[in-house]
Structure 1
Amino acid sequence: MARKAARKTASRKYLDFKGRMVMIGFGSIGHGVLPLILRHIGIKPSQITILAEDDRGGSSEIKRYGIEFVRKKLTRANYRQVLTARVGKGDFVVNLSVEVSSMALVELCQEKGAHYIDTCIEPWPGGYTDPNLSVSLRSNYALRESMLKIRPKYRGGPTAVIAHGANPGLVSHFVKRALLDLAKGSQPRTATPTSREGWAKLAQRLGVKVIHVAERDTQVSPKPKEVGEFVNTWSIDGFVAEGCQPAEMGWGTHEKSLPPDGRRHTFGCEAAIYLNRPGLLTRVRTWTPLEGPFHGFIITHNESISIADLLTLRDGRKVVYRPTVHYAYHPCDQAIMSMHEIAGKGLSQQKRQRLIVDEIRSGWDELGVLLMGHKKGVYWYGSQLDIHGTRRLVPYNNATSLQVCAPVLSGIVWALENPDRGIVEADDMDFERNLEICLPYLGPVVGRYGDWTPLQDRGVLFPEDVDVDDPWQFKNFRVI
């Protein structure tokens, strides 16, 4: 019965859409989300236009659906000219590109009366890597603050959903579900919070000190990675760009001191810090139910900041509670080798890329949130989607891309159901509605308790100076 209900939900048409839809970029997520849009939204192929620098091998898919494809790279100089004739009141821009400014597109959509969604806040080229910018200004913190700064100007305007893929995006909904699961075990009469302050108070009462977005990708291709080639299960350009940004994390009130190369920002919400090193060179101990303990990379992501900001409690101007929040990501093993090669060449990216989808033979992507510091040990809640389950659900996807595509779909649906909310993040949205749409595409979605701590099995061969009384301090994590 459960499988039948899931299949029924996975074929449901959520609403009819009469406007035009412009998809910017057609990489792994564009390929993967298009079948979901056509399956769940009442829209004709003639209503859709894809704008991209290249089709990344998607010509057959585009022809199959009969969708207009415009080969065009959007730049600071041409984006208004290219989009003005294609975007108007009631239309929808789905931005799945890299190096096209999210800020510029959001402002254009607000002027035109169009809806908008993206999976991360992107700058124009150089925004991640311009050496003339300070490390602080090359951060996701700075990008988010720039977006939040314009939010009051467009309050009540057409809904623009910012940073709503797997993470950032889906994991913010996972955090809320996980907090309620924890409360059910210890405070069974807890009502679902209805405000940001309510969620922060719930996390504080539960004693949550640290939240990892803990992800392990075990998908594998039988074809080995070659020298001079980057292999990955999702956007290589996007991964390398964010890996070259500084490691970032929401910074908890329980932390006693900054890491040696930790720095605070001098502007904005002050919910996060950064390390003076790139994320792809920064590892941390973490845990997921299938993999167990492993080293993840602190790749910077918007959710590390937005979740920490959501769960901040203040007494006047004084912050009295906030958990430490960050990504802890172990990509597929072939991507690890690719990252190692980049690191040895001064962060210079390989010229050849291979996105693995159809050639994957086995593996899963285990993506969830790990809540730590509370009385029940650790609690992980998330998706354990494998490649075989993925292929039964949607074409043109692997497990990693489908975990992104499902919340892109749910974000589009939510925006159309809530059309005048202005600029919103995942943390501002109805988590239950988004999970309702996403869950049929996430494979097993589970909550698991564990007794792991970051001190487990440390100092056995090489003694370390650790604070045994507080294993959740950041300094006790394995940062290399």
Structure 2
Amino acid sequence: MAKTVARKKYLDFKGRMVMIGFGSIGQGVLPLILKHIGIKPRQITVIAEDDRGGLPETERYGIEFIQKRLTKANYRQMLAGRLAKGDFLVNLSVEVASTALVELCQEKGAFYIDTCIEPWPGGYTDPSLSVSLRSNYALRETMLKLKPRYAGGPTAVIAHGANPGLVSHFTKQALLNIARDTGVKTAVPKTREAWGRLARRLGVKVIHVAERDTQVSPIPKEVGEFVNTWSIDGFVSEGSQPAEMGWGTHEKALPPDGARHKFGCGAAIYLNRPGLLTRVRTWTPLEGPFHGFIITHNESISMADYFTLRDGAKVLYRPTVHYAYHPCDQAIMSMHECAGKNLRQQKRQRLIVDEIVSGRDELGVLLMGHKKGAYWYGSQLDIKETRKLAPYNNATSIQVCAPVLSGIIWALENPDRGVVEADEMDFARNLEICMPYLGPVVGKYSDWTPLKDRGGLFPEKLDTRDPWQFQNFRVN
């Protein structure tokens, strides 16, 4: 079934496609685009600061490759002549401002997609900016200001990779699964408010994007080297931002180092510490309980905002939402070394793809607080199956590439939606396109709580009346 669906061509695309950035995701998604979208190699141009080993791939397909770093000074000159009405800009770069590219695409009548909201260089780490302004919350608020200006314009899909992106679709399916399994009768919600009402009715208090990557390379990590299964620049940038989370209405008090933003939707808080140093308890079916890192991501804010219910200015319901990520073990060692250097990234990088010998990426959403306790829904894709599904990928990258593909297809099928986030898209359509590339997609219930098996050796002050308080999850 998966192999049959995976060969499907969804549509014919007649315009030009410009891909910015050609790292692990660019190289991994290109074969999927050529397979499922009726596009010729001559219609595609790749622009990247360096080829990251992908130049032979573009040459093999006969695709134009331009080695050039896009900057605030040159991006219009580089892109203006390559974009017109009906063309598509696929932004898979780091430190090229997403809002600037969206504005250019809207001017030209071109479609757009990215996997996260990027600033220009320094937007993550400029010490002259407040911690609040270095957050993903601030980047999202800047992007949301474009929505009314470009309402009805060519579709620009914002932050649509694995997470953010795919996990928003997982969450909606998980809510429907929990409703079915707990006897709550519901039609598939059609509006933002209806989804919020369903989540509140089910009693969902907390949503973790719970991910455990166990992929292994036989080559040991060396001192002065950062090893990872996906973009190292992107990972370190995100990890250097403050830990962020959507902040639920069931929470009794802010963490000691927590703070609210003084602008915007108010759906999230931040901690005065980097996500790379902030751990939280979480759970996935195959790994069981583990400590993940609260790396900031757009979905932590957008999902909390999307499910918020209000009565005027009063917030009636909102879940706590955040990422809880345990990368591959060699990345953990790399993070530890980087943290010891005050978040200064190692000079050498090693992205592991072909050298991986075993392991999987278990990526899903963990919904907690409902009648059945905890429910995880997501992908358990291992490296062996990945290699049967698509070239140039590992189990982590293909979980990003599949929703990039589905986001492109959805945008072309819905061409005049303006600026949209994953939460506003058709979850069923996107899952339909992604499923053939996700391996086993499962739902598992658990009696796990962050209090389970705690306090045996060292006493802790915990709110045992409600196990779903953030203080009960947090490790440090």
In structure 1, the partner of 2:192 is 196
In structure 1, the partner of 2:148 is 152
Cα distance in 1 between the residues matched to 2:187 and 2:295: 34
For 1:316-335, what aligned pairs fall within 5 Å after superposition? Answer: 316-335=312-331
Cα distance in 2 between the residues matched to 1:426 and 1:291: 27
Cα distance in 2 between the residues matched to 1:138 and 1:468: 34
Structure 2 residue corresponding to 1:172, chosen from 168, 174, 177: 168
Partner deviation per Cα, 1:428-458 (whole Å, 9 max, x = no partner): 0000000000000000000000000000111
In structure 2, the partner of 1:386 is 382
Asked if the contact 2:358–2:384 (Cα under 8 Å) also holds between the matched residues in 1, the reply is yes
In structure 2, the partner of 1:408 is 404
Cα distance in 1 between the residues matched to 2:474 and 2:419: 37
TM-score (norm 2): 1.00
For 1:197-276, what aligned pairs fall within 5 Å after superposition? Answer: 197-276=193-272
In structure 2, the partner of 1:96 is 92
In structure 2, the partner of 1:50 is 46
For 1:17-56, what aligned pairs fall within 5 Å after superposition? Answer: 17-56=13-52
Deviation at 1:469, TM superposition (A): 1.0
Q: Are residues 1:376 and 2:339 paired?
A: no
Instruction: Report the AA paired with residue 36 of structure 2.
Output: H
In structure 1, the partner of 2:392 is 396
For 1:454-473, what aligned pairs fall within 5 Å after superposition? Answer: 454-473=450-469
Give 3-state SS (helix, strand or coil) of 1:410's partner: helix
Give 3-state SS (helix, strand or coil) of 1:81's partner: helix
Cα distance in 2 between the residues matched to 1:288 and 1:477: 14
Deviation at 1:252, TM superposition (A): 0.2
Cα distance in 2 between the residues matched to 1:340 and 1:184: 43
Deviation at 1:479, TM superposition (A): 2.7
Decide which moves more: 179-188 or 31-40.
Answer: 179-188
Cα distance in 2 between the residues matched to 1:189 and 1:287: 28
Give 3-state SS (helix, strand or coil) of 1:466's partner: coil
Asked if the contact 2:239–2:295 (Cα under 8 Å) also holds between the matched residues in 1, the reply is yes
In structure 2, the partner of 1:344 is 340
Give 3-state SS (helix, strand or coil) of 2:78's partner: helix
Cα distance in 1 between the residues matched to 2:433 and 2:80: 32
Structure 2 residue corresponding to 1:444, chosen from 421, 424, 440: 440
- Structure 1: runs of 5+ lacking an equivalent: none
Cα distance in 2 between the residues matched to 1:297 and 1:189: 36
Q: Are residues 1:139 and 2:135 paired?
A: yes
Structure 2 residue corresponding to 1:362, chosen from 354, 358, 369: 358
Instruction: Report the AA paired with residue 461 of structure 1.
Output: L
Instruction: Report the AA paired with residue 108 of structure 2.
Output: K
TM-score (norm 1): 0.99
Cα distance in 2 between the residues matched to 1:345 and 1:8: 49
In structure 2, the partner of 1:68 is 64
Cα distance in 2 between the residues matched to 1:137 and 1:188: 41
Decide which moves more: 277-286 or 54-63.
Answer: 54-63
Structure 2 residue corresponding to 1:306, chosen from 291, 302, 306: 302
Structure 2 residue corresponding to 1:81, chosen from 77, 82, 101: 77
Instruction: Report the AA paired with residue 177 of structure 1.
Output: Q
Q: Please give the root-mean-square deviation of Cα atoms over the aligned residues, in Å.
A: 0.5
Give 3-state SS (helix, strand or coil) of 1:63's partner: helix
Give 3-state SS (helix, strand or coil) of 1:151's partner: helix
In structure 1, the partner of 2:422 is 426
Cα distance in 1 between the residues matched to 2:475 and 2:47: 41
Cα distance in 2 between the residues matched to 1:187 and 1:168: 30
Cα distance in 2 between the residues matched to 1:322 and 1:253: 5
- Structure 2: runs of 5+ lacking an equivalent: none
Moved >2 Å (runs of 4+): none
Cα distance in 2 between the residues matched to 1:271 and 1:311: 10
In structure 2, the partner of 1:283 is 279
Deviation at 1:7, TM superposition (A): 1.3
Instruction: Report the AA paired with residue 384 of structure 1.
Output: Q
Deviation at 1:188, TM superposition (A): 4.8
For 1:8-19, what aligned pairs fall within 5 Å after superposition? Answer: 8-19=4-15
Asked if the contact 2:196–2:307 (Cα under 8 Å) also holds between the matched residues in 1, the reply is yes
Cα distance in 1 between the residues matched to 2:364 and 2:469: 21
Partner deviation per Cα, 1:252-301 (whole Å, 9 max, x = no partner): 00000000000000000000000000000000000000000000000000
- The number of aligned residues is 476
Cα distance in 1 between the residues matched to 2:396 and 2:473: 26
Cα distance in 2 between the residues matched to 1:423 and 1:86: 21
Cα distance in 1 between the residues matched to 2:190 and 2:141: 24
Deviation at 1:149, TM superposition (A): 0.8
Asked if the contact 2:182–2:371 (Cα under 8 Å) also holds between the matched residues in 1, the reply is no
Give 3-state SS (helix, strand or coil) of 1:69's partner: strand
Cα distance in 2 between the residues matched to 1:143 and 1:367: 24
Instruction: Report the AA paired with residue 358 of structure 1.
Output: D
Cα distance in 2 between the residues matched to 1:63 and 1:276: 46
Q: Kindly, what percent of the aligned residue pairs are identical? A: 81
